[in-house]
Amino acid sequence: MTGLFLSFLAIAAVLLAGREAVRVARFAAAGASTVALVAIATLVAIAASAAAAWLAGGLSAWLAPEHRTWLVAAALALAGLEVLLLRAPETPREPTRSLGALALVLFAGVLADASGLLLISLAILTEMPVPVAVGGGLAAGGVLGMAALAGADWEKLPRAVLRWTIGPLLLLAAPVIAFLPGFVAI
């Protein structure tokens, strides 16, 4: 249960302040079907979380137990840097209308960015990849689904405040987890 909760909080924070939700909201603002976008967000969240759990199962044998907390700390630090340094891309002049292309970009963004690394590292640390995948999938689906429903209103969120709040919190959590091994008693 702890893995589910931790992955839900971490992935929700990273995606809320990150770039993928902005992409979905801009796609919705360009006139894409809200139902189709919510369905894509849900499918992408499930697929990316399942893939992260599967990868964690294969990688966990390679890491000694004492290195697992360091992997989570590194993932948190990278997530904090990603949130702080990588801004959402500018709205393209001629955006594509392809839902398939959006699904591929979202899948790659959720799995290969900081959120995917956080899911993998938490699944390895807890040795319970399924609850971690469920928590990450719920968070990703929820945030991306809210962005699809919000559409143009998502741009009204204070994204700079979110980035400069969540990013440093993730960076601060990294050394706390790395240097206080009793802090993460999962």
The reported pLDDT for the residue numbered 87 is 78
pLDDT in tens, 92-130: 665 667 888 889 989 998 888 888 899 999 999 888 999
* Predicted confidence (pLDDT) at residue 60 exceeds the cutoff of 90: no
pLDDT in tens, 68-78: 888 899 999 99
Q: How many Å apart are CA 182 and CA 85, to the nearest integer?
A: 31
Query: For residue 158, with 0-12 CB atoms within 10 Å meaning exposed, 13-18 middle and 19 or more buried, which class applies?
Result: exposed
Radius of gyration of the chain (CA): 16
Residue 163 has which token pair? 């980035």
Residue 101 CA, chain-centre distance (Å), reads 19
In 66-88, which positions are buried (b, 16+ CB within 10 angstroms) versus exposed (e)? eebbbbbbbbbbbbbebbbeeeb
The reported pLDDT for the residue numbered 149 is 95
